[in-house]
Amino acid sequence: MDTTLAVRKPGAVLGDRLEVSTSELSRRLVDGAAAPVLLVTGTPYAPGLDAVTGDLLWQAGVREVRIRETVRADDGLLHFLRFLREAASHDIEVVWESAGDLGCDTRLLYHLPPRAGDPSWRSAYRYGLCHYRVGPGFVTVTDQRRGPAVPFTLRNPQEIGLVQDLDRPGPSDESSAFAGLLRSGLIISNGRDALCLPYRLRRWPIPCTVI
Amino acid sequence: MRICLVSMPWHLLETPCLPIGLLRARVDACRDPHTVVDYYGNLRWAEYLLDVSGGQIAEAEYSYVADRGVWHEMGEWIFAGALYDDPAWRVDTYRAYLEARNLDPGASLRMREHAAGFVDLAAREILEERPDLVGFTTTFQQNVSSLAVARRIKQLRPDVQVVFGGGNCDGPMGAALHRNFPFVDHVVSGEGELAFVALLDALSEGRAPAGVPGLVTRGPDGESVAGPPAAMVPIDMVPRPDFTAWWSAYGDGRFAERLSPVLLYEASRGCWWGEKHHCTFCGLNGTTMKFRAKPATRVWDDITHLVETHGVLDIVTVDNILDVAYLAELMPRIQESGWDLRIRYEVKANLKPDQLAALRDAGVTHIQPGIESLNSRALRLMDKGVHGTQNVFLLRASDEYQLTVDWNYLYGFPDERAGDYRPVIEQIPAMVHLQPPSGSVRVLIERFSPHFQSRERGFAERRPSRMYQHVYDLPESELEDLAYQFEAPPQGIDEDVASDLRAAIAAWRHDHAASTLTWRETEDGLVIDEGRAGRPRCEYVLSDPAQARSYRLMERPRTIAALARELAAEGFAMSEETLRRWVGELRGAGLVFEDDDRVVALATNRRPLRVAEVG
Ligand code: B12
Ligand code: SF4
């Protein structure tokens, strides 16, 4: 055996980056044909993106996703936010840009990977900033988007149902549970559809006591 | 009888009081029915401080005294003025002690001004419950506030029976407490499940409780009379703790909106390792080392009950050591629940990868593996039963399995040598990407530890720690029995080596957040990404399959000879000398850790998810 240790400049490995379109992304992840850095082309809310979960990205060893197309405040936005939330749930970096205003209070999104050129968002972002944990008959929510705060507990089955159902964009409704979650910023709505904003905490950071 | 169970400062604000939860449940085993109320003097004191200081003295100031002050009897000093009716009690001694050690007093000086007022208030609030008997639980810094309130209760209502119990009453400490503080009627020394019931039965039948095992009580002339030593409590007599009264006190109080609650749970008592090899510095388990564990099904039922009742997913277990059987019997059951628990557990450091995975999958996110050192010889002197490389393996694997590790680097063991530290100090810069110890300290001498029990072990000239001087008005001969912590002239390495170790660890803590070292398989072979502080970014490329395979085998600690054999078995025959040269090359780049002829890889298989502490 050769006993000398070869050393080279970083970033020279072939296959570290992979260009992939939104529509193919989930299939590539399932096939295990991914790379640490993904350059994603195509519209950022094509159905392909809807099938991507945080677990899938994580298991495929993805560290960073770069979205080529500019994100707009239109009907697809909730789908894109869902994707961001999934990436955030495993602390996977997402590089993305938006064209102008997102049409919502961006402070509600501070727990998601910050968009380019938004220093307040970048400095507020931290893993676990807004997440929930599931227990028997209750859900514990930690929401520090507006600053330090202690966790609170949801026990109302309708609220818990909404948190689960709106894991993907789904119809807004007239219930008081819906109105309550909307008021507290745990769901976001475009008038027709809505999405649950906190992610379920799947991976504990080190140290696990800081979030 | 009406019984009031009391938990005084400095019990933590966010946790229930486990002994009260257990004893309250045990009262059902008494012959006569009794009414039990709880009094959380710790919460009341913290609220009192908030009020009198206009919010200036809050939970952070309280925690400072509880967590940091515990090493210096800060909390005890705060209440000592009230115990001795002297606001100026040992103020100068305390200040001198802090100054000599360059310690920040926190809010302790301001807190002391309010202690006497609070003691009076607490005694009156307890008496409003019309108790026949008041039981104080005392561990850590709960002695003096409890004594002060007990004394005030006796002044106001001499007929109320006062009982003490808890970690501070174990062995001779309980007898010393009883002897020196005449307003304490009874002390339960050791486990309370049997003794407390026997005491209550005797009192409610009008019998003198003298002779109850584990109890110190008063004879006809007020003298101390000790019963025979307590029998060990069988584990099925340890009930499921009842935290309902704490939960309402906490919920109604002002800290529920400022802190997040953590449940406590005890699945086992004693230590299965210590039964065979008592770690030489360890004072855990006072008088009963015998390991006893609840069956996994009971633990599961208890945890389910507690989580469902309180809606809390954070649990700290107080076991000294994880029962290995739980890995197969309990952890999978917890995992199946699908609940997002966060559990802290003390474990033995020799866990294997599948065992770490079982813990993580069950929601054990935080472990205390008793690492203590990274050198095999020092670990042998402690009778720890692990190698230095096993400890480094555990640190690396904890990052891979996303487990938070609590540990401390201990030194100052008799017979240790500079040579047990220098090679570790030299290798620490290579380990900065792994979880650092919280610090490095000269080992303290704790009561019940082998270091304490036999003076031949090298700490012959020990005496009670200096910190007791600013608390108690007692001669050294009494402190000898009352104290838990002792000091002696330093043993083992000298200050030169010790300060180098501390400096290396301080640098480790400083550099950790910015450091990673990860490997991945690529088309070019095994590539290790250099991302440690203080080293230029680069990639090490192990393109020769024998190189790559050897590194993967070093993921588990191995001797060079064993490694050579395994490589040969896989078709990578090479001489031990070649292998040594290769390992030397890896060590030069800080990619492996070596100790006692064993080697272990340092690069992790993926970057850990870290969050920086805020503030
Ligand atoms: C879990 C634990 C911790 C946890 C605490 C978690 C928590 N939030 O409570 C952590 C890791 C934070 C911790 C830290 C420390 N700990 Co610690 N810890 C323990 C441990 C392992 C278990 C404690 C426990 O809950 N036991 C279970 C309960 C039910 O037992 P118990 O309180 O003794 O109660 C029984 C009897 O005493 C009696 N009883 C109790 N009260 C009463 C009252 C009455 C009226 C009656 C009749 C009977 C009675 O009945 C009960 C049931 O049998 C003990 C060792 C041990 N095996 O006990 C050390 C121990 C309590 N810790 C100790 C020490 C010194 C520390 C540290 C200073 C650092 C260190 N050396 O480890 C820090 C300080 C922490 C602080 N901020 O104050 C010493 C305490 C010495 C003393 N005299 O106070 C102990 C005894 C052993 C040791 N060497 O570590 N610790
Ligand atoms: S240090 Fe831990 S493993 Fe060692 S005897 Fe004490 S409790 Fe047991």
Q: Is residue B20 very low, low, confident or very high in pLDDT (cuts 50, 70, 90)?
A: very high
Beta bridge partners, B410, equal B441
**Ligand 1 center to B22 CA (angstroms):** 14
Model confidence at A12: pLDDT above 70: no
Q: In angstroms, rounded to a whole number, what is the distance separating the alpha carbons of residues A127 and A147?
A: 14
Question: How many interface pairs between A and B have CB atoms less than 8 angstroms apart?
Answer: 137
Q: In angstroms, rounded to a whole number, what is the distance separating the alpha carbons of residues B146 and A173?
A: 56
Average of per-residue pLDDT values in chain B: 96
How far is the CA of B600 from the CAs of B312, B497, B555, B582, B594, in angstroms? 39, 25, 6, 13, 7
Model confidence at B540: pLDDT above 50: yes
Burial class (CB in 10 A: 0-12, 13-18, 19+), A45: buried
Q: Where are the domains of chain A?
A: 17-210
How far is the CA of B2 from the CAs of A153, B42, B200, B250, B385, in angstroms? 35, 21, 11, 22, 49
Do the Cβ atoms of A162 and A154 come closer than 8 Å?
Answer: no
pLDDT at residue B510, rounded to an integer: 97
Average of per-residue pLDDT across A174-187: 97
Q: In angstroms, rounded to a whole number, what is the distance separating the alpha carbons of residues A65 and B10?
A: 48
- Report long-range pairs for B337-340 (Cβ below 8 Å, ≥24 apart): B337/A136, B337/B304, B338/A134, B339/A133, B339/A134, B339/A135, B339/A136, B339/B307, B339/B313, B339/B363, B340/A133, B340/A134, B340/A135, B340/A140, B340/A200, B340/A201, B340/B313
pTM: 0.96
Average of per-residue pLDDT across B457-472: 95
Q: What sign does the dihedral B49-B54-B58-B61 (CA atoms) show?
A: negative
Q: Could you say which architecture CATH assigns to the domain B262-513?
A: Alpha-Beta Horseshoe (3.80)
Average of per-residue pLDDT across B215-231: 93
Do the Cβ atoms of B129 and B39 come closer than 8 Å?
Answer: yes
* Mean pLDDT lowest among B20-29, B232-241, B447-456, B503-512: B447-456
Q: In angstroms, rounded to a whole number, what is the distance separating the alpha carbons of residues A65 and A140?
A: 29
Element (H, E) at B427: helix B422-427
Chain-centroid distance of CA B171 in Å reads 20
Average of per-residue pLDDT across B61-66: 98
Chain A residue numbers touching B585 (CB-CB < 8 A): 3-5
Q: In angstroms, rounded to a whole number, what is the distance separating the alpha carbons of residues B514 and B530?
A: 12
Q: Which two tokens stand for residue B566?
A: 């395994």
DSSP code of residue B610: B
pLDDT at residue B455, rounded to an integer: 86
Q: Which of B268, B281, B284 to mutate to test ligand 2, by most ligand atoms within 8 A of the CB atom?
A: B284
Model confidence at B323: pLDDT above 90: yes
* Cβ-based neighbours of B493, under 8 Å, separated by 6 or more: B411, B412, B416, B417, B418, B420, B421, B501
Q: In angstroms, rounded to a whole number, what is the distance separating the alpha carbons of residues B10 and A150?
A: 22
Q: Give residue-wise pLDDT tens across range B570-604.
A: 999 889 999 999 999 999 999 999 999 999 999 99
Q: In angstroms, rounded to a whole number, what is the distance separating the alpha carbons of residues B240 and B233?
A: 14
Average of per-residue pLDDT across B98-105: 98
Place of tokens 């001499």: B158
Model confidence at B260: pLDDT above 80: yes
∠ Cα B70 B74 B76 (to 5°): 95
Q: Which atom of ligand 2 is nearest to the CA of B384?
A: 4
For chain B, positions 549-608, list CB contacts with chain A under 8 A.
Answer: 550, 572, 574, 578, 581-582, 585-586, 588-589, 591, 606-608
DSSP code of residue B241: P
pLDDT at residue B338, rounded to an integer: 96
Angle between helices B108-128 and B74-83 (to 10 degrees): 60
Model confidence at B57: pLDDT above 90: yes
Question: Which residues approach ligand 2 with their CB closer than 6 A?
Answer: B 271, 273-274, 278-279, 282, 284, 320-321, 370
**Ligand 2 center to B173 CA (angstroms):** 21
Q: Is residue A106 very low, low, confident or very high in pLDDT (cuts 50, 70, 90)?
A: very high
Q: Give residue-wise pLDDT tens across range B399-431.
A: 999 999 999 999 999 999 999 999 999 999 999
Q: Where are the domains of chain B?
A: 2-233, 262-513, 515-613
SS3 B604: strand
Q: Is residue B565 very low, low, confident or very high in pLDDT (cuts 50, 70, 90)?
A: very high
pLDDT at residue B615, rounded to an integer: 45
Average of per-residue pLDDT values in chain A: 93
Chain B residue numbers touching A137 (CB-CB < 8 A): 308
**Residues of chain A with pLDDT > 90: what percent?**
77
Model confidence at A169: pLDDT above 90: yes
pLDDT at residue A160, rounded to an integer: 98
Closest Cα in chain A to B576: A1
Task: Check if B283 has its Cβ closer than 6 Å to any atom of ligand 1.
Answer: yes
The CATH fold of domain B515-613: Arc Repressor Mutant, subunit A (1.10.10)
Nearest to A13 among B307, B522, B591 (CB): B522
Nearest to A206 among B313, B520, B609 (CB): B609
Model confidence at B127: pLDDT above 80: yes
Place of tokens 């070019």: B524
Q: Which ligand places an atom closest to the C-alpha of B172?
A: 1
Model confidence at A13: pLDDT above 70: no
Q: How far is B537 from chain A (nearest CA, A)?
A: 6
Instruction: Count the Cβ atoms, other than its own, within 10 Å of residue B206.
Output: 6
Q: Which of B266, B268, B272, B273 to mutate to test ligand 2, by most ligand atoms within 8 A of the CB atom?
A: B273
Q: Is residue A15 very low, low, confident or very high in pLDDT (cuts 50, 70, 90)?
A: low
Place of tokens 């059902």: B28
pLDDT at residue B366, rounded to an integer: 98
pLDDT at residue A32, rounded to an integer: 80
Q: Is residue B612 very low, low, confident or very high in pLDDT (cuts 50, 70, 90)?
A: confident
Q: Is residue B179 very low, low, confident or very high in pLDDT (cuts 50, 70, 90)?
A: very high
Average of per-residue pLDDT across A33-47: 86
The verdict on a CB contact (< 8 Å) between B578 and A1 is: yes
**Residues of chain B with pLDDT > 70: what percent?**
99
Q: What sign does the dihedral B177-B179-B180-B184 (CA atoms) show?
A: positive
Q: Give residue-wise pLDDT tens across range A57-101.
A: 999 989 999 999 999 988 899 999 999 999 999 999 999 999 888
By C-alpha distance, which of B230, B280, B272, B277 is closest to B453? B280
